[in-house]
Chains A and B, each alone.
Chain A
């Protein structure tokens, strides 16, 4: 007969064994990951020239069609914001439907389907700012994903594995830029991936191709001859929300302090 003592020992052993998930046995080697990151090869970055953006929203349309984000769903991988700063120092911002159809109304969309009209004389300055995933060098979305469904490739792009995402939404909470959402069809986390299927084949992203004004450009930071890299290295570029320590890789020309 089994003694109580040995029973206790054995059950503790089994319990302990069960507590260690099998997959944990193959632990990550951080050095291996680092080596993968240091590989030579491209590091994709983005350059947005806000001075050239006219707010037509063709990029948003182009992206939705290319990446099969349902056209009428109120989510989008990229969007354009309109900033209107008035003489009283107030900033008015909107992005109706992510500016999929540009900005058909002159009034500022303040939610509840209401518009706030601003008279021309009151306006101090106004401009447009396109937004997309920053493919952060230190991406919080990758850090917080409990199952590793969101990951960063060697060339710096952050991707989501649609077959592995459990749809917890932690990454959506973790992104300070609000670029993530749940895909209305696949019901998993979704985000801009710089049209990874295109740039890795030497093509431009869909939004870059749709922009008639050259406000958007994609480039390779590891290639010193790349025109985008040259601009980033030699001109006064800025990034969004640097204070979060995410090391964003979308660079902006002509960014204003009002931009959120």
Chain B
């Protein structure tokens, strides 16, 4: 099987979908003649292959980029636009939250907005808090959007293909560190359904629900705890909206313990949603309180030791898990 980084897997999905369907076009800042001439980046080489009609290098105009997607999608095109860094989503938020998410409802179901907004996210790149900020909970709180956050290159490829073929606005959030971590990716066309979580590792004693980059920390912690006799089940959500409640609940009913792990800050984070879900629907199966392992409620700092402190890791996860026994 080919080994690709998440960025390369996204690149392959884009290439295959653009070849498959003439209606697919991409737009964003630097998606064509890119400032990122790194072949591991998502849109590398697509301008050369598909030309400037279908690969639109845009001005630095996040609201216009998102609006372009809204208007083009209602006319039957399949835009895949890019917001370079997650904090810049806030400038595009009107188009995404007030328009992409709501216009179908406001049309009484008559119009469709089959667009994809790819957003790069995550700490660990040494860029500080105006480039690094995980805002998935903001998007997930807007009905009308679907929210996808893959944690492996293989999932990224299959989920992005599904996102492009989905008739709804899909916010597809890619962690930047994962752009540099290779993993196995199946060749050719395959899709992974949006809204289905994946048990990345079965276990008996505790459920860790996580997504995106934190999957790596979950694996590291699980490996070490395994040697200490604690069997960890890792549930990778992959999609936040729609949420695969059944897989989460089934896992917690089996293990009786839950830790939610995410890189985003704690207050109002999506981890609270998972905790509330389990408290509402599987409380009687819990053998211990629900734990959240998250970043502290601070902006992402720059200095390496500070940035490392910000991000949850296998150590903080292991500590939380051990407190449950």
A and B are interacting partners: no
Q: Interface on B for A, CB 8 Å cutoff?
A: none
Q: Interface on A for B, CB 8 Å cutoff?
A: none
